[in-house]
Amino acid sequence: MSAFIRNRKQRIFTVLREYGHLLVGNLLVALGFDLFFAGNDIAAGGFGGLGLVVSHYLPVSVGTVVFVVSVPVLVWSFFVQGWRYTVSALASTAAFSFFTDLLAPLPTLTHNMILASLCGGGLYGLGAAVLVRGRVSGSGTDLLGRLLITKFRVLTLGTFVMLIDAAVILLSVFTFGDLETGIYAALSIAVCSWVTDACINGFNKAYMFQIITDVDAGTLADAICERLDRGVTLVPARGMYRREERNLLLAVVSPGQVYEMKDLLRELAPDAFVVLTPASEILGEGFHGVDVTVPVKNLEH
């Protein structure tokens, strides 16, 4: 019974965490739209940008447009990502539509187009990253990008979103008849793409040590495991200059452990030949990466 209660509590915590990410992420995106984009006619891609274009012709709110055009994408999400993710996507779409219309009366903070592009794009990218790291879907092109990347893994999530949004920018240029505004919208999308990728990959940086030494491999590996709590892999190697057998140890550490590793090597293997390589994303025990190319329904099994 106690195990059942613990599992129940863990499940509740997980759901609360996911929907917390969902609300915060969509609130950030809606703030970027209402505070910087809407008042400057910057249709910075997304279904929000599409809603801005449609509302120019029809007396409907941006939130209403976003919700309506999201329906076919949600249907696709059901078949690709599964019903759990699609329910999350539906909730995310509803949250963005609600926050966008709720915050619409807020004043535009700046009419400087460069500042509006940078600040709005930054909020968009930050909101998208919050949604991805929470493994919940965003609305609009974020959702569409998450679906496309499961089929075409040659590009990053931020690049997919940028390409989709480019079509919305072109539509806005024809609608508002202002090429300059379209350029600022493109700047906003570039900022959004950079911030999204930086937040997703940047928080999971690590460094790989390749250590070539004559020191006993077991002694050195035990010290790394005990002091740094990191695993070590031994690879048999042969130095081709002297034709001697050597030990090649591989160890991945967090940025904060780099100097600890260097101190340890100076102490135990001062003559070791060491190659230090940065790694932008590490998946596995001890490191928590976000693989956005895998459909969420496949991760639930």
> Of 162, 177, 202, which closes a domain?
202
Residue 290 is assigned to a structural domain of this protein: no
CA-based R_g, the chain, Å: 24
Helix and strand numbers, DSSP H then E, in the chain = 11, 4
Sheet with 273-279, strands from edge to edge, namely 232-239, 244-253, 206-213, 273-279
The answer on 86 and 128 residing in a single domain is yes
Nearest-angstrom CA–CA distance, 216 and 33: 60
pLDDT at 301: 46
- Considering the domain architecture, whether residues 61 and 131 belong to the same structural domain is answered as yes
Task: For residue 36, give its domain range.
Answer: 2-202
Give residues with Cβ within 8 angstroms of 177, minimum separation 6: none
In a domain, 300, yes or no: no
Query: Mapping DSSP to helix (H, G, I), strand (E, B) and coil, where does residue 229 land?
Result: coil
**Cα separation of 160 and 176, whole Å?**
25
| 268 assigned to some structural domain | yes
Q: Is residue 153 domain-resident?
A: yes
Instruction: Answer yes or no: do 242 and 96 share one domain.
Output: no
Q: Are residues 124 and 224 in the same domain?
A: no
**Same domain for 114 and 163?**
yes
Give the contacts of 183 (CB within 8 A, at least 6 positions apart). Answer: none
49 vs 169: CA distance, rounded Å: 8
Angle at 140 between CA 136 and CA 142, to 5 degrees: 50
Which of 202, 225, 243 terminates a domain? The answer is 202
**Is residue 293, in this structure, part of any structural domain at all?**
no
190 and 56 in a common domain: yes
CB 140 within 8 A of CB 48: yes
User: Sign of the C-alpha dihedral, residues 29, 30, 33, 36?
Assistant: negative
If asked whether residues 50 and 167 sit together in one domain, one would say yes
Helix (H, G, I), strand (E, B) or coil at 185: helix
Same domain, 106 and 14: yes
Q: Residue 48, exposed/middle/buried by CB under 10 A (0-12, 13-18, 19+)?
A: buried
How much is the pLDDT for 105? 92
Please provide the size of the chain in residues.
301
Q: Do residue 236 and residue 130 come from a single domain?
A: no
Instruction: Judge if 49 and 86 occupy the same domain.
Output: yes
Integer CA distances (angstroms), 175 to 164, 181, 230, in order: 18, 11, 56
d(CA 192, CA 159): 10
Kindly state whether residue 285 falls inside one of the protein's structural domains: no
Q: Structural domain tally of the chain?
A: 2
Specify whether 89 is located in the same domain as 39: yes
Instruction: Check the CA dihedral 104-190-127-115 and report its sign.
Output: negative
Per-residue pLDDT of the chain (301 residues; tens, 9 = 90+): 566 677 777 778 777 888 888 899 999 999 999 999 998 989 887 788 888 888 888 888 998 998 888 888 888 888 877 777 788 888 888 999 999 999 999 999 999 999 999 999 999 889 888 887 777 766 677 677 777 777 776 676 667 767 777 888 888 888 888 888 889 998 988 888 788 877 776 666 788 899 998 888 888 889 998 888 888 888 888 877 777 788 899 998 887 788 888 988 988 888 888 999 887 666 655 555 555 555 555 545 4
Beta strands in the chain (DSSP E): 206-213, 232-239, 244-253, 273-279
The answer to whether 40 touches 180, Cβ cutoff 8 Å, is no
Phi, psi of 105 (to 5 degrees): -70, -10
pTM for this prediction: 0.68
20 and 72 co-located in one domain: yes
CATH code, 220: 3.30.70.120
Tokens of 239: 């130095």
